Chains A and B, each alone.
Chain A
Amino acid sequence: MHKQNGRSGKRGYSQSEVEDALAGLIASTKRIHRKLNLLQIAKKIEIARKGLGNLKKVSEAIGLSTEMLRQFSRVTKLAPKARRFVARGVIQRVDIADRISRLPPGDQFPVAQAVARGDLNTDDVRAIITFRKNQPKLPISKVISRVMSSRNIKEYVVQFLVPPQEEMKNIEGRFSKLIGQDGIRSVTAEKRMGTLLLNKDGKNRLELIAKKKGLTKRSLVKEIISGEVK
């Protein structure tokens, strides 16, 4: 138990410091958009742990499992170069940061860099960890590229009716201008049934534009087809 007044714990955190840490943790660990980065959260967990005596008490105080708290704490185990991505808030997901910290120190930066670029997701990092154990001598760049090239290919299909007065090449042009050619695999039409095939980047861009305009993806597509959005 921490003392009611004055300093407590081995490092001597005061009651108010511990309470601040707990408040910060409650505010930052239970929402997706956090004010604190993962390293700041790990620091607060450490203050709370020392103040309260152990992780279980911190867990009870903020209503988060000890395993989850450990996951946050493991972020501090990241190699310095990889840790920078976390400190800058480029890597915000604790599960990804935790997984990267389990890789050999020399592998962490290239993987963190690929995550920051948006090339790897949580599943990919998990796959890299497993694959790395089987292939300890392979350069990490090859491990990353092997995992990336072995992923399933994700495509997003939007089907639409081509308005009678509209020409297909105009619709194609508007999609290309808005989403970018590299996000589109194909735009085709058979009779008056059009099909837009997007890759992941294209889908993400469509999502972003829809969000900015306060529309659903499907409504945005409808407006692009009708020419309301150019």
Chain B
Amino acid sequence: MINQIYEIELDHINISDWNVRHTDPEKGLEELAASIAKHGLFQPVVLMGEYGNPPYELIIGQRRFLAHKNILHKKKIRAVFAERLNRVQASIRSLVENMTRTDLNHADAAGAITYLYKKLDRDERKVKAETGLSLQRIRQYVDIEERASRKMKEKLRLKKVTPVDVQRVLRAASGDIDKADRLLEKMQKFTPYQKKRMVEYGEEHPHANDDKIIEEAKRPVVERTILVKLSDQARAGLEKAAQKLAMSPDEVAAQAVEDWLSRKGFISA
């Protein structure tokens, strides 16, 4: 429970390793300091420890703390004390606080979320319950943190690539991390359609090298739709199957035709 606000000497505060923000904590600090100088500090920083028994550990409000210390050269800062937290609880608090803002770097968020994921029995639903993030977003962070190369993470940190593109090359490279690095390098000017083809071709051809995957991704695929006349009975059956299987009638028809041709030996399995 957070309660009373105290004026705490800056010298009595250390930045906790549990604070999730490790990248660019000084970014935009001048603006923040100017705002604090003009309007004051609206939101106190959050500390761990026992009041009257310094040093204290700062878990939330690193940038506010740095603005006070390095730019405004203040001696004290408004702070509240969190209840006794273990590392997981502190990480959750710091993460939730920072995730509500847009400027938390992907690498920091991924590191913190993956830490929680591991500590919470590798159960993404528990991470969701604690952080309020969607399962899809949690999976994306964990996937990238666990599978991406250092090079990829660095590019993410510098915002030179998007998390989705990193996931795309990881899929297209079928587990070959060097190939994934090269693909990421080469796909930068691809359109979304080319990126999609890159993933499709890479997954279907796990032994293809990066040059071949890139070449195939650049080449538009010819999609042929065959118009077929069906009896009313077959059409009704197709619609029924599409509804039951939650597929489009086209997909059901394609699968049915392929199955029949395969069973009759007109196409090889």
Q: Looking at the complex, which of B45-53, B92-100, B191-199, B241-249 is the stretch in contact with chain A?
A: B191-199
- Which of A14-22, A81-89, A153-161, A176-184 contacts its partner? A153-161
Residues on B with beta carbons closer than 8 Å to the beta carbon of A153: 220-223
B224 within 8 A of A: yes
Contacts A218-B228, A221-B227, A222-B229 known; A147 to B193 CB distance under 8 Å? yes
Which B residues lie within 8 Å of A218 (CB)? 227-229
Q: Bound complex: CA of A218 vs CA of B224, how far in Å?
A: 16
Q: How far is the CB of B112 from chain A (nearest CB, A)?
A: 26
Interface bracket on A: 20 to 34
Bound CA span A204–B226, Å: 14
Mask, B167-210, CB within 8 Å of A = 1, is: 00000000000000000000011111110010000000000000
Residues 153-193 of A, flagged 1 when their CB comes within 8 A of B and 0 if not, give 11111110000000000000000000000000000000000
Q: Known contacts A156-B227, A217-B227: does B221 contact A146 (CB below 8 Å)?
A: no
Cα distance A64–B191 in the bound complex, in angstroms: 34
B86 within 8 A of A: no
Q: Which residues of A contact B43 (CB under 8 A)?
A: none
Q: Give the Cβ gap from A39 to chain B, nearest Cβ, in Å.
A: 29
Most buried by A among B218, B225, B227: B227
Q: Report Cα–Cα, A127/B192, bound state, in Å.
A: 5
- Asked if A122 is an interface residue, CB under 8 A from chain B, the answer is no
**CB-contact partner of B191 in A146, A203, A217, A221, under 8 A:** A146
CA distance A170 to B205 in the complex (A): 45
Rounded to whole angstroms, the CA-CA distance of A98 and B229 in the bound complex is: 37
**B193 neighbours in A (Cβ, 8 Å):** 127, 147, 150-152
In Å, the complex CA distance between A134 and B192 comes to 10
Dominant SS among interface residues on chain B: mixed
Contact: A130 with B192, CB < 8 Å? yes
- Taking a contact as CB atoms under 8 Å apart, the answer to whether B189 and A152 are in contact is no
Once the chains bind, are A159 and B226 in contact (CB under 8 Å)? yes
Known: A150-B220, A153-B221, A153-B222. A134 touches B227 (CB 8 A): no
Query: What's the Cα separation between A155 and B223 when bound, in Å?
Result: 6
- CB nearest to B190 among chain A residues: A150
Query: Chain B: which residue is nearest A154 at the CB level?
Result: B223
From B191, B218, B223, B227, A127 is in contact (CB under 8 Å) with B191
Interchain CA distance A119-B197 in the complex, whole Å: 21
Contact with B along A210-222 (1 / 0, CB 8 A): 0000001111011
Tell me, in angstroms, the Cα distance from A149 to B191 when the chains sit together.
10
Q: In the complex where A216-B229, A219-B229 touch, is A131 in contact with B192 (Cβ < 8 A)?
A: yes
**Chain B residues in 8 Å Cβ range of A134:** 188-189
Within 8 A of A (CB), among B212-259: 218, 220-229
Residues of B within 8 A of A150 (CB): 190-191, 193-194, 218, 220
Pick from B193, B226, B229 the residue with the most CB of A within 10 Å: B193
- From 108 to 153 in chain A, residues with beta carbon under 8 angstroms from any chain B beta carbon are 126-127, 130-131, 134-135, 146-147, 149-153
Contact between A152 and B191 (Cβ–Cβ < 8 Å)? Answer: no
Q: A222–B189 Cα gap in the complex (Å)?
A: 46
Chain A residues positioned under 8 Å from B189 (CB to CB)? 134-135
**A11 vs chain B, min Cβ distance (A):** 33
Contact B229 A152 (CB under 8 A): no
In whole Å, how far is B247's beta carbon from the nearest beta carbon of chain A? 19
Please, which residues of chain B bring their CB within 8 A of the CB of A152? 193, 197, 220-223
- A: which residues have CB within 8 A of B? 126-127, 130-131, 134-135, 146-147, 149-159, 203, 216-219, 221-222
Nearest 9 CB-CB pairings of A with B? A218-B229, A127-B192, A150-B191, A150-B193, A152-B221, A157-B226, A153-B222, A158-B227, A155-B224
- 8 A-B interface contacts by CB (under 8 A): A126-B192, A131-B191, A152-B221, A153-B222, A154-B225, A156-B224, A156-B226, A222-B229
20 extra interface residue pairs, beta carbon distance < 8 Å, beyond A152-B222, A156-B225, A157-B226:
A127-B192, A127-B193, A131-B192, A147-B191, A147-B193, A150-B193, A152-B197, A153-B220, A155-B224, A155-B225, A156-B224, A157-B225, A157-B227, A158-B226, A159-B226, A203-B225, A216-B229, A218-B228, A219-B229, A222-B229
